[in-house]
Amino acid sequence: MPSQLPPEIEEYRDRAWQRDPTLRVETVQEAERFVERVGFAATLTDSRQPGASLYVAVCGRRDAVMPRNVQKDPEASAAWVLKDEIIRRGKAYYGKLARGKAMFLAPRLIPHFFAIWGVRRRDEKMLLSDDAQAILKVLRKEWEAASSDLRKWAGLADRKQFDRAMNELQAALIVIPSEVVYQPKFTYIWTLAEVRFAEALKQRVERQIALREIARCFLQGAGMTVPGELAKVTGLSRPEAGLGNQSLVKEGFAHSTARGTYCLAQLAAALCASSSVR
């Protein structure tokens, strides 16, 4: 499908999201710098989804599409290995966040995401399911455990039941994977988010400010955002995504060029001039 964005914006995104062969991500250090710079990024989404993506940055091209047979694809394998290394090093936050989106967060964005989706300890009994609370009770005692051990100790024999509870805890920014193990069998090692990101999680951010800063972070990388794009990338509701973008307009950081469409103020004048020339 042809892009609905101006070519200048696509070129801006090529640089910002490293969709360029000269900016390709190849090492874990480069991957961590990528996450820190963009603020938040998907893991293995391709060009069919908007937003920054580790897989697209590994490919270094705008039209990257994940193949059906990912096990035999060198770019998909490279992105997967980098994902595991990032998790192991613990310098960037990783988890399945809102709507089950597997994402990386730069530590500076953790307080803002927590302000929207996080569950505080005092609210856990009210907001978390019994299964999620059972897993959390185990982790608060053991601090770290493999999936199979967690299932057994929490009394969750059904794998789907366990997976739902783990997704719930990840979306609440309470539990994260700390390592991926492949031998003798594949498993995640889980820990509490506060173990690795205590300082970031101690920070308190008002919801309105969090919406604004998440919107700012996305717009800095996107250059322009069209209706529904910010909500699709982050898992925000469309009204809340709109509130975040509108607050950027009020402070002069962004211009609203049409209903639901926002552009970086620094790019808006150049786009207008370019359109008038064309």
> Which residue do the tokens 């719930």 mark?
168
Counting every residue written for the chain, the total comes to 278
Q: Token pair for residue 200?
A: 């970031």
The answer to whether the beta carbons of residues 234 and 241 sit under 8 Å apart is yes
Signed CA dihedral, 49, 52, 58, 62: sign only: positive
- Cβ atoms 155, 134 nearer than 8 A: yes
pLDDT in tens, 20-73: 999 999 999 999 999 999 999 999 999 999 999 999 999 999 999 988 877 778
Taking only the tens place, the pLDDT of each residue in 126-166 is: 999 999 999 999 999 999 999 999 999 999 989 999 999 99
Domain ranges of the chain: 1-105, 110-205, 207-277
Do 110-205 and 207-277 have matching folds? yes
- Architecture, CATH, for domain 110-205: Orthogonal Bundle (1.10)
Q: Does the pLDDT at position 275 exceed 80?
A: no
- Res. 266 pLDDT band, cuts 50 70 90: confident
Strand order, beta sheet including 254-258: 224-225, 261-264, 254-258
pLDDT tens figures, 168-214: 999 999 999 999 999 888 999 999 999 999 999 999 999 999 999 99
**Residue ranges of E strands in 97-196:** 102-105, 144-146, 175-181, 187-192
Query: At the topology level of CATH, where does 207-277 sit?
Result: Arc Repressor Mutant, subunit A (1.10.10)
Average pLDDT, the chain: 93
Global pTM reads 0.93
